[in-house]
Amino acid sequence: MSNDRRSEPSVTQPVTLQQIASELGVSTATVSLALRGSEAVARATRERVQTRARELGYVYNRSAASLRTARSHMIAVCVHDITNPYFAELLKGVERAAMSEGRMMLLGTYDEDFERQQRLLATFREYRPDGLVLCPAVGTTIEDLRSLTDTGTPIVQLSREIVGSGLDFVGSEDGAGARLATEHLIGLGHRRIAFFGGVDGASTSDNRRRAYRQALAAHGLPVDGALFYSGWGRRETGLLAIDAMLDLAEPPTAAVCFNDVTAFGAMLGLYRRGMTPGRDFALVGYDDTLEASQWFPGLTSLRHTFPPGPVAGETLFSRLRDPGRPQQRRAIAPTLIVRGTSQPPKA
Amino acid sequence: MSNDRRSEPSVTQPVTLQQIASELGVSTATVSLALRGSEAVARATRERVQTRARELGYVYNRSAASLRTARSHMIAVCVHDITNPYFAELLKGVERAAMSEGRMMLLGTYDEDFERQQRLLATFREYRPDGLVLCPAVGTTIEDLRSLTDTGTPIVQLSREIVGSGLDFVGSEDGAGARLATEHLIGLGHRRIAFFGGVDGASTSDNRRRAYRQALAAHGLPVDGALFYSGWGRRETGLLAIDAMLDLAEPPTAAVCFNDVTAFGAMLGLYRRGMTPGRDFALVGYDDTLEASQWFPGLTSLRHTFPPGPVAGETLFSRLRDPGRPQQRRAIAPTLIVRGTSQPPKA
DNA sequence: GTGAAAGCGCTAACAT
DNA sequence: ATGTTAGCGCTTTCAC
C-alpha cells in the first residue's frame, strides 16, 4: 500500500527539470522552454512536457532560476508600522499588485527606528529583490540608500519622500490635502485651529503643516505655536493632544489631524471628557481609512483619488520594465469627504 | 573624479566570493568559511577576508547559497487579513522572531478566500521557504496542505487550527477565554447575553461559541439562537450586530464578542444610538489589542499570557532544528482584563 | 524544433 | 589551516 506511490504527484525529493527531461527523452532546454510556454517548442512537445510536469508534481525552483537570471521575482517592502490601518491597506494594495505580476513580497518593518531600517535594508540586499517599496524613516538621505541604488535596485518611495532624491514616488499631495482640511474648518467659522500629530523631518508632516500654516495666513489668521501637538501618527498622540489643547487658557475649537488614526485618538479623548466630536470640537483626519465612515460621528477626512498601494506596485514594475525612464512622481490629489466631525463652532 | 572609484565600496557589478578569493590569493572555500566566521580558518586569514569583503562591498548571494544548501532562510507567512490590528501585531511578532534568527518574511494575505490561499501557497512553494506560518482559511483540511507537508516544509498554525492535523499550533485557549468572558457577564447579573461575530468552521469561533453556550448552560441560562450574530471579526459585524440585537423584542443586555474589532464596532453602534457602552450595554472583546485600553470606556477583553506572534516564530524555528519532535501545541491561556465596557445591567 | 554545454555563486566533501 | 573539485537546478547561447 504505502509502496504504491509510483504515480503519486509528489513524494519527498523535489522533482527537477532534469528528471522530466530524461523521463521524456528530451533535453532540459526543451523542458525549460516548454514549461514557460515558449512558441519555439512544438505544441505537441510543450503539452507533453506540461502534462508530465503536473503529474510528477514539479515545482519550479526559484533559487536556481534567480541565480541564473539574476532576478529574484521578489519585491521588498519596508514600512515603519503595519499596525496603522492606513499602512495595512497600502500593503494589501502593494501585495495585490505584486501577485498580479507573479511576484512575492518580502516584508520588513522598522518601527520608526532608522537603525532598524538600515539593518533591514542590508539584509534585504542579500535576497536580491527586484525592487524596493520604501516608506523611508525620518532622517533617511539618498546616501543611506546608496547600497541599493548602486547595485541598480529600483526604489519607489511610498508616502514619505526624500526631497531631491530623484527616486520614484507615490504618495499624497500633502499640501493640497492639508489646505483643503484647513480651509474647510475656516469656512465653517473656526478661528483657532490646532494641528495634531506629525513629526519634523517626515515629508508628509512637513508638507501638511506648511500648508496648514499657509492656509491660516492666507485667511488672515494667526499661526500659534501652542496649537501644534507633535507625535507619530498614532492613536495616543491624538488622545494626548486633545487633552493638552483643551487645558489651554484659550483652547482651539478644531484641529486638522495628521492622519485618521490621530483623529480617532482625539475622538476618544473627547468622549473621555464627556464631549461629542463634531459638536464640541471639530476634527478632520487624513487618509480616509475604512474606519473613518464607521465611527460616530463619521470622521471628515481626505480620500485619495487613486489607491496608493497598487499604484506604488505598478510604478515599481513599470520602472523594472524601463530602468532608463525619467523619475515618476505620483502625488495623488486628495478630496475632502465631509462627515459629522466637522461642524461649525458652538455659539 | 568619477573615474576615481578604485577603492569605492561598491560599484555596479556585485562582488563575488571568487573575486575576494583571487584578490587575496586564497580559495573560495576559505573565503566562504571565513565570512561565516568559521573557527576552521586561521584568525588572521579570517580577518583579512572579512576586511577585504567589507571594503569591496561584498553582499552575500542567498540565491546561490539557497540553491546549494536547499535552505532559503525565508519563512512564509500567510494570514487572512493584516487590516485587523490583532493580526498586524501578530505579524510584527513573527517578523521580530524571524529577524532575530536571521530570516526574512515572505508575506501573503488571502482575504478569507480559500482559493486565494491555495494559489498563494502554490506560489510560496517555488520560493522554497524554510517554513510556513499559516492562519488557515475556513474549510482548509490537511489534504489542502499536502503539497507543503510532503516536501517537508514545516507548518505552524497560527490562531486557527485544523483539528486533527497534527501540525504545530500557536493560538489562544479559546474555550477558556470565552468561558471567562461569559461567566464575567453572568457574574455581573446579565441574563440575556449575545455572541457577536465569528463564522462556522473557524476553530477560533467554533471553540469560543461552544464555551459560551456551555457557560450559559452551566449557570442555568437558556441558549437562544436569536442572540447569535455571525460574521467575520470585523468592525462592521459588531456595528450590524448591535443594531440587530437592540431591535429584538426582548433585547440582550450584554454580548461576548468574537474579538476586539467586533466589539469596537458594537461600541460605535451604541454611540450611534445615543447609548453608552458599559452603562447601557455590556461588552467583552477578545485579544486585548492596544486599542482596547484607549477606547472610552476601556474595553474589557482577554489578554494572552504570552505574545502569540513571537511564540509562533520560535515554534517554527525549534521545529526546524528538530524536525522529528512531537507536535507542539501552544494554546495560550488568556486572562480577563476588566475595563469600563462590562458593567452590571441597568435596574 | 531540439540538444549539448557552459555557468550563475555558493557550499561541502575530501585532500593535502 | 587551506585548496580542489563537484554540483545544487535552472537558463541561454550556439549548434544541428
Q: pLDDT by residue (tens digit) across A68-95?
A: 999 999 999 999 999 999 999 999 999 9
Nearest CB to B105; choose among A62, A107, A290: A107
DSSP B131-159: EEEE-PPTT--GGGGHHHHHTT--EEEES
The mean predicted confidence, pLDDT, of chain B is 94
- Phi then psi for residue B217, to 5 deg, are -60, -45
CA of A258 to C1' of D6 (A): 60
- Ramachandran region, residue B170 (left: φ > 0; alpha: ψ -120 to 50; beta: rest): beta
Q: Distance (Å) from the C-alpha of residue A211 to the closest C-alpha of chain B?
A: 30
Size of interface A-B (CB pairs under 8 A): 134
With contacts defined as CB-CB under 8 Å, which chain A residues touch B152? 12
Q: Which of A60, A74, A126 sits opposite B60 (nearest CB)?
A: A126
Residue A128 touches chain B, beta carbons under 8 Å: yes
Measured from the Cβ of residue B338, the count of other Cβ atoms closer than 10 Å reads: 13
Q: What pLDDT tens digit does each residue of chain A (347 aa) get?
A: 333 333 333 347 899 999 999 999 999 999 999 999 999 999 999 999 999 999 999 999 999 999 999 999 999 999 999 999 999 999 999 999 999 999 999 999 999 999 999 999 999 999 999 999 999 999 999 999 999 999 999 999 999 999 999 999 999 999 999 999 999 999 999 999 999 999 999 999 999 999 999 999 999 999 999 999 999 999 999 999 999 999 999 999 999 999 999 999 999 999 999 999 999 999 999 999 999 999 999 999 999 999 999 999 999 999 999 998 999 999 999 999 999 999 999 97
Q: B177, B303 in Cβ contact below 8 A?
A: no
Query: What are the two backbone dihedrals, phi and then psi, of residue A154, each rounded to the nearest 5 degrees?
Result: -70, 145
Residue B151 CA, chain-centre distance (Å), reads 23
Question: Mean pLDDT in chain A?
Answer: 95
Cis peptide before B222 (omega within 30 of 0): no
Give B239's contacts (C-beta < 8 A, 6+ positions apart): A294, B265, B266, B268, B269
Please report, rounded to whole angstroms, the spatial distance between the CA atom of protein residue A33 and the C1' atom of nucleotide D5.
Answer: 31
Asked whether strand D has any atom less than 7 Å from the CB of A40, the reply is no
Chain B residues in contact with A12 by the CB 8 A cut-off are 150-152
Q: In chain A, which residue's Cα lies nearest the Cα of B89? A: A83
Helix, strand or coil for residue A132? Answer: strand
Query: What integer pLDDT is reported at residue A13 of this predicted model?
Result: 84
If one compares B7 and B67, the residue with the highest pLDDT of the two is B67
Q: Which of 58-117 (A) contact B at CB < 8 A?
A: 59-64, 66-67, 72, 74, 82-83, 85, 88-89, 91-92, 95, 99, 102, 104-109
Who contacts B149 (Cβ-Cβ below 8 Å, separation ≥6)? B142, B155, B167
Please write the tens of the pLDDT for every residue from A303-317.
999 999 999 999 999
Give the tens place of pLDDT for each residue, B153-188: 999 999 999 999 999 999 999 999 999 999 999 999
Closest residue in B to A273 (Cα–Cα) = B296
- Sort out which chain B residues have CB atoms less than 8 A from A66's CB and list them: 63
Which of A61, A38, A40, A67 has its CA nearest to residue A50? Answer: A38
pLDDT, tens only, A282-302: 999 999 999 999 999 999 999
**pLDDT tens digits, one per residue of B27-82:** 999 999 999 999 999 999 999 999 999 999 999 999 999 999 999 999 999 999 99
Q: What is the DSSP letter of A12?
A: S
Model confidence over B225-252: pLDDT tens digits? 999 999 999 999 999 999 999 999 999 9
Amino acid identity of residue B174, one-letter, is: D
Among all protein residues, pick the one whose CA is nearest to the C1' atom of D7: B68
The predicted pLDDT at position A3 comes to 36
Nucleotides of C under 7 A from a protein CB: 1-13
Looking at the predicted structure, is the pLDDT value of residue B9 above 90? Answer: no
CB contact under 8 A, A294 and B64: no
Q: Is A306 on the interface with B (CB under 8 A)?
A: no
B39 lies within 8 A of chain A by CB: no
pLDDT, position B4: 34
pLDDT at B99 over 70: yes
pLDDT of residue B319: 96
Range B280-292 average pLDDT: 97
Task: Record the pTM.
Answer: 0.94
Per cent of chain B over pLDDT 70 is 97
How far is B340 from B347, CA to CA, in rounded Å? 18
